[in-house]
Amino acid sequence: MKNTILIVDDEKPNLVFLNNVLGADYSLFIARDGQEAIRKANEILPDLILMDILMPGMDGYEVLGALKSSEITREIPVIFITGLSSNEDEEKGLALGTADYISKPFSEGIVRLRVGNQIRIINQMRSIERMSMTDQLTEIANRRSFDQELNVEWQRAVRDMSPISILMIDVDKFKYYNDTYGHQQGDVVLQSVAKIVSQTPKRPADFAARWGGEEFAVLLPVTHEDGALILAERIRANVQKTIIPCQDGTNTSVTVSIGVNATIPTSEDSKNDFISKADNALYTAKGMGRNRVCKA
């Protein structure tokens, strides 16, 4: 997929030039004034913005200030494309947070290099971010990523007065399995369970993560208790019937216990209580003999 660039300029020759230079490598969007730039930046969330300083209405400095003051757009790097070349102009832009300058008249080589440098930095930072949000063993989301997703979905549920559910999942007798078959085989079990936990939910909004150790969590936005219980039982059954081979040719299997909690949260409710109730239901499932689903 191509990186996206929003070009903000009111002069057609500049737009034509930049389209010819960048169009083959990037997905380009156009805005011809400051207000349109702010609107499109919020809609598109481009990877990079190229923006003229001198425009009708809001100038580039004002637009940059508006972008940097918004939580949604503040991280989008902006390169000023401008004929202004004084030290004062450059200092003002840098103080507001511009990433770089491209001077007019344009040089094709300079445009390619400066844009390419910013895009490379963006992609590298995203790769690092993805790694920091992924559990290295199971290759699904980690606890940090889950906490971030829960914050977003919890706020949405409060705002929309919509239901939200959580599954807390624990591999039964995992220590015994590790002691019997070894830690490497225990890693295979965690990878197998992670695959089931992440692939059994089918909706794009459903979010599975490794919570820690042998425990997993699944967040289910806009889901009532009945729907969460059905999915939990499907995960439990899928794990139980999965054959996990060992290096010596023998086959093994494991089971999981699952705690389910569902709520329609208000601003007074606590995410920690939401999780704790699912955890308590999980321990109830363990106490009742494991390999079962219990609700809060």
Structure-derived torsion over alpha carbons of residues 195, 201, 203, 209, reported in degrees to the nearest 10? -60
DSSP one-letter code for 106 = P
At which residue do the structure tokens 């702010």 appear?
38
The rounded distance, in Å, linking the Cα atoms of 94 and 152 is 32
Q: Which structure tokens are listed for 131?
A: 């790694």
Convert 249-278 to b/e letters by CB count within 10 Å (16 or more is b): eeebebbbbbbbbbbebeeeeebeebbebb
The rounded distance, in Å, linking the Cα atoms of 37 and 16 is 18
Phi-psi region of 167 (alpha: psi -120 to 50; beta: other; left: phi over 0): beta
The rounded distance, in Å, linking the Cα atoms of 213 and 135 is 11
Helix (H, G, I), strand (E, B) or coil at 49: strand
CB distance 56 to 33 below 8 Å: yes
Q: For residue 111, what are the CA distances in angstroms to 60, 114, 208, 262?
A: 18, 5, 42, 52
User: Active-site residue among 214, 215, 225, 233?
Assistant: 214
Residue type for 246, please? C
Is 214 part of the annotated catalytic residue set? yes
What value, to the nearest 5°, has the Cα angle with vertex 44 and ends 39 and 47? 115
φ, ψ at 260 (rounded to 5°): -120, 135
Catalytic residue numbers? 214
